[in-house]
Structure 1
Amino acid sequence: MGILRKTVIISAFFISTVILLRTFFLGTYPDFTVYFAGSEAFLQGKNPYNTSPGAFANYVYPPFVLLIFLPFIFVPVPFAAQVFLSISIMSLPFGIYFCLKALGKLSVYSYAFTLLLSALAFPTKFTLGMGQVNLVIFFLISVVFYLLHKNKRYTVGFFLGLAYAIKLFPIALLYYFLLQKKWITVILSIGVFIIFYVVSVLFSGVDIQKTYFENVLPGISTSYQKDYYNQALSGFFARLPIEKTTGMFLKNITSILFIVLSLILLFWSRKKKNLENISFSFIITLSLIVNPFSWQHHFVWLILPFIVTFYKFVPTSLSLRGPLTTKVRGTRQSHINNYILLSSSYLLVAINFPNPQSLPVLFQSHVLFGTILLWFLQAKLLLGNK
């Protein structure tokens, strides 16, 4: 390994470490206080969905999450937040490790490069600064992705079921397992989810569950937030200068079109073994586009799709040397175009504007546009076009 290569790798690790560790000095982690207050209210015999005193926002997470954060309430909030932050930070490098390992692309250089780009991206900084659980979900999905390649059906089912219990988002991945006819994984993941749900019922009681499913969940599923940080289709249409009913109608129609087209592509390519990784990550990308809301910190889940798409575009047999025939020139240009588009997608997702109101309305949805661009590149791959 040359001196220049070593310098680049060391610099990448150093910058990544500094970016991640500086979050320990932020002092406040608003969303963590919501988790904390919810579990504290639950321990006091209150309904956390009705009472979140002193919290940043109302508690809207699945009941099982109350049990996960219960151990944290026995120590002061600042210390509890630092412990949870440590878990979140470690979830990132370990998640990246499993992604690269699954693809057979793990090396010091690829790892350092991926970690640096992930740490630099605003969604990563945002999820850590807010004290969110998204990097833990990323880690669980990365483990699932890795175990899939090892054909560990039972273990995949367990980790997938655990992810369901913490966040509803991974449930979309069920479609992938159904298409691939991985029945054991489907049944086991649902079974594990049910077990975790039953445990939460036994500890929290029926009233809390009733409040969540009758009041909280319907409110989430029909959310129409126009905040800049909502980068789903719902946020894009909510920010447009049109009537709310018109915007919701357009959002629903556009979401249906994305979903139907995506399901057709996934079904059409289901038997192509070389596209299984793209299919898996394609569902993650689609979910962030059509979810009722996707805050910018949710987009850390795109780390896996970006990794998969990047390495799918890497030319395996095309030499960069030799005679430039028309075919070779065209193939090289295609790779260059793909990397330009993928880089543009990353930049649109990774950047953040501290004063978004100063931007034109369309520019305020840059993360959504970057995600749609990634969706387009993955759709090309599913169609067999590089």
Structure 2
Amino acid sequence: MLTADVLGPEIFGHGKTKDYPLWFWAGQQVLQGGDLYPHDPQAAFAFLYPPPAAILLAIPAFFGKIPLYICLSLLNVAAWWIVAQLSNAMAGDGEVPSPWLAALPSIAMISFTFDMFDLGQPNLVLLALMLLGFWLLQQGRSWSSGSLFALATAIKVFPVAVLPYLVWRRQWAAAASTAIFLAVFLIVIPAPVRGFQHNISELKTWYQGMVGSSSEAGFGKRDDQNWSWMNQSIISLTHRLTRPVDYNQDNPNTAPGYMNLLDLDFKTSNWIVIGVSLIIGLGFIAVMPSRQRRTPRSDAEEFGILFCLMTVASPLARQYYFIWLFFPLTVLIHRAAYDPRASVRTGTWIALAISGFLVCLSLPPFPHDWQAYGNNFLATVVMAAGLAWHLLYPPEDKASSSTAPAGSLSASGRVP
């Protein structure tokens, strides 16, 4: 049905909209040797992704629009299945959930999954790559895991936030692999396709326009979205709360909306962003168990918090970015179902219900003003807090996790 939403308008209607025509254009630019970005980094960019993403799109785009759209839809189908399987298998309790419980995360996240198909965004595919990378890391295959982290970063930059985590956890091989393969994907592989000098020039233009530019107007070539209600990142929320920016700036026909509690300048707000991010990072470090105390259960909770933080740390965190809550949600569902403490099970279900209520505030009946205050961000905070509590207060009976060595997939290794 979700694939039909993509193909139906293209085959029987006036053509699929959203980002799909842009992906076809980018693939055709590679095939025809055209430029992906304007020569002036200050000009508007149609394609916001690094050059390797366009090269990957060029392969199915060679055969036409419909083959490209079919390929992207099948990638989302495969990614959905991989994410669901790995999320349940990596929950760290060694339990094989019933079919309904195993399907519950997919049911709860269906609106985000719909966005992946409808918009043509790759975030679900990126989540599959990242989860598979962590699964390989648990199996001791550090270089393979790093290659997947690098591939996700080469497609859409924000997964690079995994690199500081790998360094902190002294996963030196995985960190080195991520850095080396990132260079391979950004420089080596595109060279014979685009030409070495052409690729370097485009990479430089993309970096200057997307990463190296930031001002009061915005960043990343999406000035109309950066401070708007659409963006629920730490950066955007902090600026909306600390200086008078119009969160309805994406729609000039709507009256300006302001939610600032303070009236600070741009530079001071940026310092607050740094301070808040530092506090969150130190808090994450504080709840991490020592290497000797790590178990598959604690790893699942730790990874879940990491996925929460990577989501909101992205400069632009629109609605569909929160598909990355799939894994944290699954871990919490496992804790709500299988924790030996009845009161903890009840408390976890309550936390999940609160998160679900907050996420539902993004549905069309509710005003955009509520999203401006960060309903998805707050849902992420509730999930991360729940996972942190489970990290700090594991059950005394660790039979479900202690039977497997730290870093292994699960006690049983079974996948539902």
> How far apart are residue 359 of structure 1 and its match?
4.9
Shift in Å, 1:97: 1.1
Shift of 1:115: 2.7
Q: 1:361 to 1:342 in 2, by over 3 A?
A: closer
1:382 counterpart letter in structure 2: L
- Residue 228 of structure 1: CA displacement? 2.9
With over 3 angstroms needed to count, the CA separation of the structure-2 counterparts of 1:270 and 1:58, relative to structure 1, is farther
- In structure 2, what is the equivalent of residue 372 of structure 1? 381
Residue 42 of structure 1 corresponds to: 30
1:31 and 2:19 matched: yes
Distance 1:296 1:359, change over 3 A: closer
For residues 64 and 275 of structure 2, what CA distance do their matches in structure 1 show? 47
The answer to whether the 8 A contact 2:50-2:156 is kept is yes
What amino acid does structure 1 have at the position aligned with 2:155? I
Counterpart of 1:309 in structure 2 is: 332
**Which residue type is aligned with residue 49 of structure 1?**
Y
- Could you say which residue in structure 2 is the equivalent of 1:216? 210
Change (3 A) 1:70 1:359: closer
Shift of 1:41: 2.4
Residue aligning to 2:300: 277
Structure 1 residues 20 and 35, CA gap change in structure 2 (3 angstroms): closer
Give aligned-pair identity as a percent.
18
Partner of 1:241: 259
Matched, 1:138 2:132: no
Q: Match of 2:228? A: 227
Aligned to 1:127: 116
1:61 is paired with a residue whose SS is coil
> In the alignment, does 2:112 pair up with 1:102?
no
For 1:181, the equivalent position in structure 2 comes to: 170
1:333 and 2:307 aligned: no
2:73 and 2:318 map into 1 onto residues whose CA distance is 19
Stretches of structure 1 lacking an aligned partner (at least 5 in a row): 1-17, 319-330
- Tell me the equivalent position of 2:314: 291
Is the alpha carbon distance of 1:70 and 1:350 closer, same or farther for their aligned partners in structure 2, counting shifts above 3 Å? Answer: farther
TM-score normalized by the length of structure 2? 0.74
User: 1:89, CA displacement in angstroms?
Assistant: 2.2
Q: 1:257 aligns with which of 279, 286, 289?
A: 279
Evaluate the alpha carbon distance shift between residue 78 and residue 355 of structure 1 in structure 2; reply closer, same or farther with a 3 A threshold.
Answer: farther
Higher relative contact order (CA 8 A, sep 6+): 2
Query: Structure 1, residues 119-138: CA drift from partner, whole Å, max 9, x if none?
Result: 2xx22211221101111111
Distance of 1:229 and 1:38 partners within structure 2:
25
> What amino acid is the match of 1:279?
E
- Give RMSD over aligned pairs: 3.0
Q: Which among 155, 170, 173 is matched to residue 144 of structure 2?
A: 155
1:82 corresponds to which letter in structure 2? I
List per-residue Cα deviations over 1:46-96 (Å, max 9, x = no partner): 321229xxxx97211111112111113223324422331222122102221
CA shift, 1:363, in A, is: 6.2
1:278 Cα deviation after fit:
1.6
Residues 88, 102 of structure 2: 8 Å contact kept = yes
The residue identity in structure 1 corresponding to 2:280 is F
Write the distance in 2 (CA, Å) between the matches of 1:232 and 1:173: 17
Q: Read off the aligned partner of 1:345 and give its amino acid letter.
A: S
Matched, 1:111 2:102: yes
Distance in structure 2 (CA, Å) of the matches to 1:279 and 1:199 = 33
Alignment partner of 1:203 is 2:193: yes
Q: Please state if 1:66 is matched with 2:87.
A: no
Structure 2: which 5+ runs fail to align? 11-15, 241-246, 248-257, 396-416
- 8 Å Cα contact 1:141-1:163 kept in structure 2: yes
Following TM superposition, by how much is the alpha carbon of 1:222 offset from its aligned partner in structure 2, in angstroms? 4.3
Count residues in correspondence. 348
Give 1:322's aligned residue. Answer: none
Question: In the aligned structure 2, how far is the partner of 1:235 from the partner of 1:146?
Answer: 32
Question: Match of 1:77?
Answer: 65
Shift in alpha-carbon separation, 1:269–1:335, aligned structure 2, 3 A: farther
Deviation for aligned residue 1:305:
1.6
Aligned to 1:6: none
Contact residue 335 and residue 348 of structure 2 kept, 8 A: no
CA distance in 2, matches of 1:210, 1:293: 21
Query: Partners in 1 of 2:136 and 2:361 — Cα distance?
Result: 32
Structure 2 Cα separation of the partners of residues 188 and 116 of structure 1: 35
Contact 1:123 1:350 in 2 (8 A): no
Q: 1:139 to 1:100 in 2, by over 3 A?
A: same
Partner SS for 2:47: coil
Q: Structure 1 residues 188, 257: CA separation in 2 closer, same or farther (over 3 Å shift)?
A: same
- Quick check: 1:26–1:129 contact (8 Å CA) kept in 2? no
In structure 1, give the amino acid aligned to 2:232.
Q
TM-score by length of structure 1 reads 0.79
